[in-house]
Amino acid sequence: MPQLGPAHIRGSLCALVTPFKDGAVDTRAFSELIEWHMDEGTHGLVPCGTTGESPTLSVEEQETLIRLCVERAGGKIPIVAGTGTNSTAVSIERTQRAEALGADAAMLVAPYYNKPTQEGLYQHFKAVAQATDLPVILYNVPGRTVTDISVETLARLSEIPNIVGVKDATADLARVSRQRAACGADFIQLSGEDATALAFNGAGGTGCISVTANAAPRLCSALQKATLASDMATALAVQDKLIALHDALFLETSPAPVKYALSVLGKCAEDVRLPLVPPTEATRARVREALETAGLLAS
- CATH code of the domain containing 108: 3.20.20.70
Residue 54, in any domain of the structure? yes
Per-residue pLDDT band at 298 (split at 50, 70, 90) = confident
Query: Model pTM?
Result: 0.97
Residue 269, in any domain of the structure? no
- Give, in order, the Cα–Cα distances in Å from 91 to each of 54, 75, 156, 249, 273: 12, 24, 20, 28, 22
CA–CA gap between residue 8 and residue 188 (Å, rounded) = 11
Which candidate in 21, 112, 167, 267 is catalytic?
167
- Give, in order, the Cα–Cα distances in Å from 168 to each of 9, 80, 200, 282: 14, 15, 9, 29
Is residue 35 predicted with pLDDT exceeding 70? yes
115-174 residue pLDDT tens:
999 999 999 999 999 999 999 999 999 999 999 999 999 999 999 999 999 999 999 999
Tell me how many domains the chain contains. Answer: 1
Residue 257, in any domain of the structure? no
CA–CA gap between residue 51 and residue 42 (Å, rounded) = 16
Residue 259, in any domain of the structure? no
Residue 249, in any domain of the structure? no
| pLDDT score, position 1 | 57
Residue 193 and residue 201 in contact, taking contact as beta carbons nearer than 8 Å: no
Residue 186, in any domain of the structure? yes
Length of the chain: 299
Residues spanned by the domain of 65: 8-228
Which candidate in 122, 139, 259, 260 is catalytic?
139
Residues 6+ apart with CB under 8 A from 91: 83, 84, 85, 108, 124, 128
Residue 262, in any domain of the structure? no
Known catalytic membership, residue 139: yes
Residue 65, in any domain of the structure? yes
